[in-house]
Chains A and B, each alone.
Chain A
Amino acid sequence: MSTRLPNAGRLIDASKQIEFSFNGKRLKGYEGDTLASALLANDQMLVGRSFKYHRPRGIVASGAEEPNALMNMGEGGQFEPNQRATTTELFDGLAAKSQNHWPSLDFDVGAINTHLARFLPAGFYYKMFIHPRPFWKHVYEPIIRKSAGLGRAPKDRDQDRYEHFYTFVDVLVVGGGVAGLQAALAAGQSGANVLLIEQTADWGGRAQVDGGEVDGKPVADWIASTLKALDDLPNVTRRDRLMGAGVYDHGYALGYERVNDHTPSNAGPRHRLWRIRAKQIVTATGAIERPLSFAGNDIPGVMLASAVRDYAVNFGVSVGDRTVVVTNNDDAYLTAIAMKNAGLDVPAILDARASANGDLVQQAIDMGIRLEFGRAIAAVKGGKRVTGVKVCAQIGEGAVLSEIDCEVVAMSGGWSPVVHLWSHCGGKLNWDVEQQMFRPDATRPPTSHDGEAMVTVAGIANGYLDLNNVLQDADQAGKNAAKAAGSKPKTAKAPTASEATISPMEPVWLMPQGAPIKKRMKAWLDFQNDVKVSDVQLAAQEGYESVEHTKRYTTLGMATDQGKLSNINGLAVLSKALNADIPQVGTTTFRPPYTPISMGAIAGEARGKVFQPLRRTPIHDWNMANGADPEPVGQWHRPFAYVEQGETVHEAVNREVLNTRQNLGLLDASTLGKIIVKGPDAGKFLDMMYTNMMSSLKPGKCRYGLVCTENGFLMDDGVVARIDDDTYLCHTTTGGADRIHAHMEEWLQTEWWDWKVYTANVTEQFAQIAVVGPNARKVLEKLGGMDVSKEALPFMTWADGIIGGFDCRAYRISFSGELSYEIAVPASQGQAFWDALIEAGQEFGVMPYGTETLHILRAEKGFIMIGDESDGTVIPQDLNLQWAISKKKEDFLGKRAQLRSHMADPDRWKLVGLETLDGSVLPDGAYVVADGTNANGQRNMIGRVTSTYYSATLDRGIAMGLVLHGPDRMGEVLDIPKTDGTIIKTRIVDPVIYDKDGEKQNV
């Protein structure tokens, strides 16, 4: 049984009881507990089922490396799968459910797989389900998907909020253990601006449990005084519950702060993603203990030695009365000593080494603990929990020498430094033979923008396992980082700890070393992904020599824990099987984040109403309040149509089209780009920007122009107005405003920087309203203030004036073929001016119209639309726009490209009008087909539909398209198939089908 000890742990407050639930069962814990410690205190040893064989799994670790205790946490909008119980702080009302079992944790049908384990080795799925081919998609995959996976995917919208936080520091110190504290202190005392972050809520790291003395005082006292010293430094900030998640280029680091995970009822964000720019980064991330590989090492009750003592010391939790320690190093003796000190029994320490004489070994002997050298575990007894171990000789094949009854097996295979952050951005590792670990190679660090090292590793993470070396190394790391960041470190010496005698550890990758296949098939390497020693050996046997391939073939080190416990053991087994040295085999790539971070934290504030910016015109609110069916155009929402009560969108469009043709329509054209181009060279510059001549335009006049890329392709179009000798106003499409402004600036800044031209994007300075229809002049005359007659303001001219009391600029331009004015007023008066037009227009039949009507009106006139008739591969010549391409100009952007042979090819598809014989509306994007097939066996295509609408004016479908030799084939009937295979017979016609002579717009 696991229970709570009478003497409380150092982290819990036994006076504050907390209620929580596990699989619906109500349980009690204390403030300061983790979910894992509280479960153990309630004798809940079984916490989940393994991924593949559904074997019972218990808690193995006490920190971020935990592979088994993954929970479905919370409910509804707070539900989240795969949460580690070991890093989940207990709070009142916490609701956790175990994963990967059916129908229940205690009785799981999938556990049958464990009896089939012999038939489910590495690569089983790859080999088994490849034949017959069609079975994968329709049979195998659906079944496998159902039974695979850990937690459930959330169904409800996440109800919490998240945010980012940008910060810039001289030195970022990751890890709040002894090394991190000393490094931060050394850096802080040099005057550097330091941010020290710790992933848990507890400072001091392993030293708080493992003890020791610093400068002659207990290490806990030193931790307390160092925290105070750090807090007294104004240039040092320390934050807990903030994990260093990743290190990236140029000193960019991500920190993952769990702001309210432990206090979910608090206001405020749940997680905060810190986006840190550090001149230097010190990683003091400690080490992770390695399991040992022996038969039955996955049975609940087999735990990391350090975790067993963590639960006792930190949380006052006994995992069981009798703990057998099995180890290849001195460190695990701390667990035996801690158990004894807690009043618990340690039947034996099984030390795989032939002998050891370190200080801790001596201490254990002095305490009267039974010590057996050269011993290994032949097998663990028990099913859903440990009942005992069978002991054998490490050098043998597993002949059982004795059996020991126990509830806990505390294992230690040595320690692996946490080198993840060092490695994320390219830091290299060396294999330390003596300590059997990968250590950072300081001569091959990750480098920053200046080519210099940007990460230093300190303490245990750097491979220094004893306290004194940790302090010295961390002190130096802190000073070096501060110096590299531009501060002057103090010469103060680092504190010292008494040096201990440690006996050398011995590599033990399999227990016993000659274990036969039956045992190797029960010796787990990766608890989360169910990978055993035998699987890795099979992979090697089948030719998987690369560690990266072996990882993917066996799933070793995949999923949420990314091999924190399994990687080193796995690659040691692989290297043995390949008969290669460990460094030759190498490690898999360490990728951020260190542990999984929430998707919410990554998204930050960008959700709900601020998911993305929505641009609004001055008339936006009116539009939305008056039935606008919003159409996204860039980041704007333009009204597609203004839908009245009882009307469909289609009916609204037809009404708007007819009304604009017959009476008066208003269009909110504020989104159209307006760019001022000014300077003595403005005309010369615009002659380069546009295909036609702009320098010859007279002040007061307007001209339609085309903008091409240097590749010759049509990029944008719009009406240019010449304001005065030096000044032009260039209209762009809605989507083109920012793009064309940037395009102009690019050429001015990087090619013609000696030309005297300034540009300014004034799109949003104005509300621009198109007043369109036979009654357009009447409504403006009614409002009064400026002469808008044909004589005073002819077609394609503009004038400044006052209309209805509003200062405005009126352009006589038309995109509809009707009598039309575009009136620009300051944006702050846009709504008032719109209101005035609506009011004055009542007697003239005014109606607002949306973008669909705009499209239909222009299509009836054969006007092209950027993005419909153009798609980045179309040149103006394709659209019969030769009239807008100057032949006089020596140069303009796109001119040289349009002379290339392919551009001048007479077989390029060209713009025509398309008229269906039955009057129906062509499908958008449909292709025109010819007889025969191409080399790929596809039907030959000779054109496509670019714009297609129902025209209420003509009461039939109208369309434009690009067709091979189209303009030469007027009157021909084409075949245009629909997706259902039927053909629409369509005649080639002139694209201009309404008011061919332009009489209506020119009145």
Chain B
Amino acid sequence: MSNSVSALNGENVKGFVQVSELGLQGMITLRANLSTPKVKKAIKDVTGVLVPKMRQILHDGDNSIGWMSPDELLILCPHSGAEAMVTALNDALGKTHALVINVSDARAMFAVKGADARDAMAKLAPTDFGMGFQPGEIRRSRLAQVAGAFWMVDQETFNVVCFRSVARYMFDVLAVSAEKGGEVGYF
């Protein structure tokens, strides 16, 4: 519907890196036995993206799939297409034991963009943001006091996903980390 709004309606702030809420983003949680050919095929057929391996995130066009746990994927797609994709996945999976559910509105997504994006992220998550962390990897962890998942879009950009109810907290805490004068110059 046209009256849909994301948690922070695209708010953004510029510190030594830019923090932006990315607006409406389609997201689907898929739980299934990811090693079976039928599941792999269904996912590839519907999304165009292969099933990622452990801690991998794969992209193809508008769609991405992130590995969340051994039996759970996060599928990213355009917000308006999420419901249809859930139906298509359910159809493709047929009687296979699986759970496919639209969680687009249960989440918020952010970009942390700038040359020192790694520094800003390393203030919040107990994760190694050294050069070992590269685009293609998705990590679930804790950002300050809330759970989140993040991955790199390119060498200067992280995307961060969290629950919608804590979107304001996540934005504020990222903004505090990105405040000018707080450059660490470490990574």
A interface list, Cβ under 8 A from B = 161, 163-168, 193, 237, 260, 266-269, 272, 275, 277, 605-606, 609-610, 612-618, 635-636, 676, 678-680, 756, 758-760, 762-766, 805-807, 826-829, 831-832
Specify which chain B residues have a CB less than 8 angstroms from the CB of A165 in the assembled complex.
119, 122-123, 184, 186
- B173 and A765 contact, CB distance less than 8 A: no
Which B residue's beta carbon lies closest to that of A605? B176
- A760 and B99 contact, CB distance less than 8 A: yes
- A267 and B181 contact, CB distance less than 8 A: yes
- B127 and A828 contact, CB distance less than 8 A: no
- B144 and A605 contact, CB distance less than 8 A: yes
25 sample A-B contacts, Cβ–Cβ < 8 Å, listed by A number: A161-B176, A163-B182, A165-B122, A166-B122, A166-B123, A166-B124, A166-B127, A166-B129, A237-B186, A272-B184, A610-B169, A610-B172, A613-B144, A614-B169, A615-B166, A616-B167, A758-B32, A760-B31, A764-B165, A765-B101, A765-B104, A765-B105, A826-B105, A827-B164, A829-B4
Specify which chain A residues have a CB less than 8 angstroms from the CB of B4 in the assembled complex.
826, 828-829, 832
In the assembly, what is the distance between CA of A507 and CA of B98, in Å?
77
In the assembly, what is the distance between CA of A277 and CA of B126, in Å?
9
The smallest beta-carbon distance between A604 and chain B, in angstroms, is: 8
B102 within 8 A of A: yes
In the assembly, what is the distance between CA of A248 and CA of B183, in Å?
27
B125 within 8 A of A: yes
The smallest beta-carbon distance between B39 and chain A, in angstroms, is: 12
In the assembly, what is the distance between CA of A806 and CA of B4, in Å?
10
- A616 and B168 contact, CB distance less than 8 A: yes
Which B residue's beta carbon lies closest to that of A193? B130
The smallest beta-carbon distance between B73 and chain A, in angstroms, is: 12
In the assembly, what is the distance between CA of A829 and CA of B1, in Å?
8
B177 within 8 A of A: yes
In the assembly, what is the distance between CA of A275 and CA of B144, in Å?
13
Task: Take A762-B106, A828-B104, A829-B4 as given contacts and tell me if A267 and B180 are in contact as well, using a CB distance cutoff of 8 Å.
Answer: yes
Which A residue's beta carbon lies closest to that of B164? A764
Task: Take A168-B128, A605-B123 as given contacts and tell me if A610 and B173 are in contact as well, using a CB distance cutoff of 8 Å.
Answer: yes
| Other contacts beyond A610-B144, A614-B166, A832-B1: 19, CB < 8 A | A161-B176, A166-B122, A193-B130, A260-B181, A266-B181, A268-B179, A605-B123, A605-B144, A605-B177, A609-B172, A616-B166, A758-B31, A758-B32, A762-B106, A764-B107, A827-B105, A828-B24, A828-B79, A829-B5
- B125 and A166 contact, CB distance less than 8 A: yes
- A268 and B104 contact, CB distance less than 8 A: no
- B169 and A606 contact, CB distance less than 8 A: no
The smallest beta-carbon distance between B148 and chain A, in angstroms, is: 11
Task: Take A610-B172, A613-B145, A764-B105 as given contacts and tell me if A167 and B3 are in contact as well, using a CB distance cutoff of 8 Å.
Answer: no
Specify which chain A residues have a CB less than 8 angstroms from the CB of B24 in the assembled complex.
828
In the assembly, what is the distance between CA of A678 and CA of B96, in Å?
12
B146 within 8 A of A: yes
B6 within 8 A of A: yes
Specify which chain B residues have a CB less than 8 angstroms from the CB of A260 in the assembled complex.
181
Which A residue's beta carbon lies closest to that of B183? A268
Specify which chain A residues have a CB less than 8 angstroms from the CB of B172 in the assembled complex.
609-610
In the assembly, what is the distance between CA of A121 and CA of B70, in Å?
67
Give chain B interface residues in 125-179, CB to chain A under 8 Å.
Answer: 125-130, 144-146, 163-169, 172-173, 176-177, 179
B45 within 8 A of A: no
The tally of CB-CB contacts under 8 A between chains A and B is: 140
- B3 and A832 contact, CB distance less than 8 A: yes
Specify which chain B residues have a CB less than 8 angstroms from the CB of A272 in the assembled complex.
184
Task: Take A760-B29, A765-B105 as given contacts and tell me if A612 and B182 are in contact as well, using a CB distance cutoff of 8 Å.
Answer: no
Which B residue's beta carbon lies closest to that of A832? B3
The smallest beta-carbon distance between B8 and chain A, in angstroms, is: 10
In the assembly, what is the distance between CA of A827 and CA of B79, in Å?
13
Specify which chain A residues have a CB less than 8 angstroms from the CB of B5 in the assembled complex.
828-829, 831-832
- A166 and B144 contact, CB distance less than 8 A: no
Task: Take A610-B172, A828-B24 as given contacts and tell me if A805 and B99 are in contact as well, using a CB distance cutoff of 8 Å.
Answer: no
In the assembly, what is the distance between CA of A764 and CA of B127, in Å?
26
Complex partner residue of A163 from B3, B6, B123, CB under 8 angstroms: B123
The CB with the most chain A CB atoms within 10 A, among B6, B105, B166, B182, is that of B105
B103 within 8 A of A: yes
Give chain B interface residues in 40-92, CB to chain A under 8 Å.
Answer: 71, 79
- B103 and A765 contact, CB distance less than 8 A: yes
In the assembly, what is the distance between CA of A766 and CA of B180, in Å?
37
Complex partner residue of A766 from B29, B105, B144, B179, CB under 8 angstroms: B105
Specify which chain A residues have a CB less than 8 angstroms from the CB of B126 in the assembled complex.
166, 275
8 closest A-B pairs by beta carbon, nearest first, are A268-B181, A267-B181, A827-B105, A758-B99, A615-B165, A828-B4, A168-B128, A765-B106
In the assembly, what is the distance between CA of A663 and CA of B114, in Å?
55
Which B residue's beta carbon lies closest to that of A272? B184
In the assembly, what is the distance between CA of A706 and CA of B4, in Å?
35
Chain A proximity mask over B1-42: 1 for CB below 8 Å, otherwise 0: 101111100000000000000001000010110000000000
- B173 and A605 contact, CB distance less than 8 A: yes
Task: Take A166-B125, A605-B173, A828-B105 as given contacts and tell me if A268 and B182 are in contact as well, using a CB distance cutoff of 8 Å.
Answer: yes
The CB with the most chain A CB atoms within 10 A, among B102, B127, B164, B177, is that of B164
The smallest beta-carbon distance between B149 and chain A, in angstroms, is: 15
- B144 and A606 contact, CB distance less than 8 A: yes
- A756 and B168 contact, CB distance less than 8 A: no
Which B residue's beta carbon lies closest to that of A671? B165
Complex partner residue of A636 from B102, B105, B107, B165, CB under 8 angstroms: B165
The smallest beta-carbon distance between B162 and chain A, in angstroms, is: 10
Task: Take A166-B122, A760-B29 as given contacts and tell me if A268 and B180 are in contact as well, using a CB distance cutoff of 8 Å.
Answer: yes
- A616 and B105 contact, CB distance less than 8 A: no
- A826 and B164 contact, CB distance less than 8 A: no
- A676 and B105 contact, CB distance less than 8 A: no
Specify which chain B residues have a CB less than 8 angstroms from the CB of A832 in the assembled complex.
1, 3-5
Task: Take A605-B176, A610-B172, A617-B165 as given contacts and tell me if A760 and B122 are in contact as well, using a CB distance cutoff of 8 Å.
Answer: no
